Amino acid sequence: MAAPRAFLRLVAPVWNRGTCGVRGLSKAVDPEGSQRKGRTLLQFLTDRFYDVEAVREYLLRKQVLKVQKKNRFRDREWMRANERGLSSLEFRKLQEVPVEAVDASGCAINYQGLDNLLALKELQSLSLRRCPHVDDWCLSRLYQLADSLQELSLAGCPRISERGLACLHHLQNLRRLDISDLPAVSNPGLTQILVEEMLPHCEVLGADWAQGLKVGPEKQSRDAAGSPIPA
């Protein structure tokens, strides 16, 4: 009869609470199904039940948004969060040790998230490569790290323009600045020159300043033998 079978399907997840969500569900409904059959069944269930879809999306999203943040403490090597997050024991030992370098490349950090980085008063190296939400407003907050910051990398951030780079003049201790591959900067060569003038002690890596210059028309060399000389 239709009713008991439907009943079985709906109740199956509750019985299998122990097993991890989605795979357990498909197994419960079709225990002897092959791998391929299991996948299409999962797809079938995802199409029909909102909660199956939600669970699937959540698992996928958890994998994709794994934060790639790395930290380097004084006299130590880089420490990086693993899939489950950092083990708290290590960090507790390092509470007094200042953070020297942060590599937040590719991280979805934004204007409010920078609060956490700006609290690190002895930060020497900051890497914000390819961060999709770091824009000119975020750069205007970096002056708080002026005393200690020596190395900054902004390569590949899609929202940074030359207007935000103008606020970097506060960082007078900066020795290395990477501003390559900034698609929103209108004139990379000229911007590089202006930034170099703004930060005289800093080595600025970025666009080649000759980029965007065209070769002028070659001057025709006068053929002295052939051309008539006006009297």
| Binding footprint of other proteins on the chain (CB under 8 A) | 111, 136-137, 139-141, 143, 161-167, 169-170, 186-187, 190-191, 194-195, 197-198
For the bound state, the minimum distance from the C-beta of residue 214 to other proteins, rounded and expressed in Å, comes to: 17
The dihedrals phi and psi of 183, each to the nearest 5 degrees, come to -70, -20
In the complex with other proteins, which residue's Cβ is closer, 27 or 163? 163
Cα end-to-end distance, the chain, whole Å: 115
**Cβ closest to other proteins, residue 55 vs residue 167:** 167
Strand 151-153: give its sheet, edge to edge: 78-80, 70-73, 99-103, 125-127, 151-153, 176-178, 203-205
Q: Is the CB of 87 or the CB of 186 nearer to other proteins?
A: 186
> Token pair for residue 104?
């937040």
CB of 83 to other proteins, least distance (A): 31
CB of 144 to other proteins, least distance (A): 9
Q: Report phi then psi at 60, rounded to 5.
A: -65, -45
Q: State the minimum distance, in angstroms, from the CB of residue 168 to other proteins.
A: 8
Q: Which is nearer to other proteins, 42 or 168 (CB)?
A: 168
Angstrom distance (rounded) from CA 172 to CA 156? 23
Q: Are 135 and 112 in contact (CB under 8 A)?
A: no
